[in-house]
Structure 1
Amino acid sequence: MKQAQRGNKGGEVVIHKRRGKKGHGDEHGGAWKVAFADFTMAMMALFMVLWVITPQNRAQTVAADQESNPLVDGGAGVFDGTNRRPLDFEGLPNPRVERQKPSDPRVPELQDLATLIKTLSLQLDAEANLEVQVVPQGLRILIKDDQQRFMFERGSAQLNKYFEVLLTRLAGVIAQVDNKIIISGHTDAVPYPGDARYNNWNLSGDRALRARNVMVAAGLPARAVLQVTAQADGMPLLPDAPEDGANRRIEILLLTLQAEGLYRELFGDGQLRADYSAKGAELVSPVGT
């Protein structure tokens, strides 16, 4: 702002020029813009570098994931030597998968025995009465009625002559192997008539015991029979027709060595157990230990 003053003797006009005061920010007003521009340029450069190198790292990561993933074809398996720990689902330990145990050496013998029994059924014209099945537990032999021949007299354990001959011949074949056997009797679901104290459970048990006695008398070692059991109508061959006569039968199960071992664990003294009585619990060790 200019202001004119008169004050000198010569009448001259003196002009004073006043300058406004500037703040501190006005003196450095453009510096922050330069710094911000430099920072932005540096960030852009960093972004470009990351953008260039990311695809390569991603490809390496995917390849590594495929090699270590057991679900990818060709990937590393869980138990192939690179990872020895079982998988853990929700914190619960997953037991290690055991390798399958070697097959029972008696199994081929059972298969040969099945062939012999088939031959026996042809010789006795008993194809409809004698059925053989190789099952995981051993050899299952079913002796049953047909339309012309009944194994037992109705409602009794009286064995018909034809089936007595069949059991006698069958005992000679089974005696050729060392496998233990279980003999079970089965009836249909028709209630046993007469005395209520005797029912299908009694009848099926008596028939199974009768079959056992005939076979032992024919030369089957008595020690070969591990169990004689009554099943009544509990396990019908025709579940949809429990009263059908086709459910009446005697079954003989020749056990594999493994199945025999499981049986002895259930019913024998080969395992540690606790016996309970009025005096309390008593720990019993296996026999011979």
Structure 2
Amino acid sequence: MNKKIIYLCMAVILCSVNKISAQKDSIAQQRKARKLVRNGNALYEKQQFTDASVAYKKALANSSYYDKASYNLGNALYQGKNFKEAIPSYELTAKTAEDKYTKAEAYHNLGNAYMETKNYQGAVEAFKNSLRNNPNDDETRYNFAVAKKLLDEQNKQNKNDKNKDKNKDNKDKENKDKENKDKDDKNKDKDKKDGDDKDKKEDDKDKDGKGDKDQKDKQDPKKDDNKDKKQKPKPQQGKMSPQQIKQLLESLNNEEKKTQKKMNAKKAKGTKTKQEKDW
């Protein structure tokens, strides 16, 4: 027999053995997962939801796509008020479940979990999918109507809040624009006032300058007199001008002539002498 054929046959045999071993391990894991689910159910009945959740998680660790384990885990988390953690478990069940009833139940509970987290859009879609798989479920239909009403109210509120925020932004913008305008007007008034004060100061300065000039003009005649006086030197005290000296000399000469004339006249008359008595 050809060696290649022998090796090929051995490889096929080994693969078959490994496949059989894997199937045996898978069956064992499935059995263990089912046992863990039963333990979880017992704990769930006792309302020990945390312990039940641990058992269901162990079951999923042995069989990842065990829809009963994921569905029951979602219920245990939901009963423990862990609504956000329950959502992925319900989503997994809805995805892996083979019968429509199980899918409908998973979507129904998923919608309830969304309702608890106020995700009304997600709840509407979940209840809608539940009704697609089980159209005769009145409870799901009622929950769908409630979720839709809450969604409409939420959208309306969001719209009002958006408009309110928009109006607030517009009002804030208007107030800011008004504030900027008032500030600009105030600056303009200040600049105008500063300009007016400057013009006033310049006018006062011109006025003061004109007054000084007029005052100077009024004082000019006196100034001119003083100037004339300065141009014609005033004789200082104790000093005589040549003309005055000449006049004084002439006056003295005249007085001297008069005195001499009087003396000559006396000589001509003679002087009176005292006569001695001749006894």
Do these two structures clear the TM 0.5 threshold for a shared fold by scoring above it? no
User: Which structure has more RCO (C-alpha within 8 Å, separation ≥ 6)?
Assistant: 1
TM-score by length of 1: 0.22
Greater Cα radius of gyration, structure 1 or 2: 2
Structure (1/2) with the larger strand percentage: 1
